[in-house]
Amino acid sequence: MVDHLALDIETVPAADLADYSETVQEKIQQKIERQQERNPDFDYRYFASIHGDFGKIVCLSMGYIHPGGKIKLKSLHGHDESQLLNEFNEVIRSINGIFIHYNGLNFDIPFILQRMAHHGIRLTNERFRNLARFRSEPHFDLMQQYYNWDMQKVLSLGILAELHGIPSPKEDLSGDKVYDAYVNNEWERIVRYCEFDVATTLNLWNKVYRYEPVIGESNYDFSGAGRK
């Protein structure tokens, strides 16, 4: 029985802005313009990719540390978000341990729940819905735990990994480039990137909270998922 499961998602816009009613378009544009005052690069693509009502999941990667010391990784990916979420729902059905992620309480987990609601998918594991903060279970948000919920001190996963001597997940792809990779059907790159994030999160958790040595990249058991 796996006592922990780490996860990460990659997202893209679910539809073009023009596909929504004029009322919705106007509200979205207002939100984008307010954000652009602080970040000129904030556009609809960025907005939709981080918003569970306007984005969709194209890759959901999971992993755990095998007793033999390997990090086992698996991904669900493709254009059919409903199928992806139904398969994930079956995976978490029997998980009684913790769900590990990096900033998952703010992003990944609510996004997954919102997309499940969109597709009318009933959760098989009600523990997954418990988003109570300042706790370490059922969700162990490594970012929040490590920084004691102080957002002013938070560093990105890639930087924190470098500081702890852990292989960086940002060498080939980055979050802002996932959409272009998706449009170009570069599924191998997306899956590898997402799984690397999961492996990095697990490696950090294992080092910082289990006091175990860093696991080398050669012990990352990537899924080798292909095109969809």
DSSP the chain: --SEEEEEEEEEESS-GGGS-HHHHHHHHHHHHHHHTT-TT--HHHHHHT-TTTEEEEEEEEEEE-TTS-EEEEEEESS-HHHHHHHHHHHHTT--SEEEESSTTTTHHHHHHHHHHHHTPPPS-GGGG---SS--SSEEEHHHHHTTT-TTT---HHHHHHHTT---TTSS--GGGHHHHHHTT-HHHHHHHHHHHHHHHHHHHHHHHH-PPPPPGGGEE-------
Q: What is the pLDDT of residue 170?
A: 57
- 28 band by pLDDT with thresholds 50, 70 and 90: very high
Residue 175: pLDDT band (50, 70, 90) is low
Domains of the chain: 4-221 (3.30.420.10)
What is the rounded average pLDDT of the residues 116-141? Answer: 97
Confidence label for 63 from pLDDT (cuts 50, 70 and 90)? very high
Using 50, 70 and 90 to split pLDDT, how confident is the model at 1? low
pTM of the model: 0.94
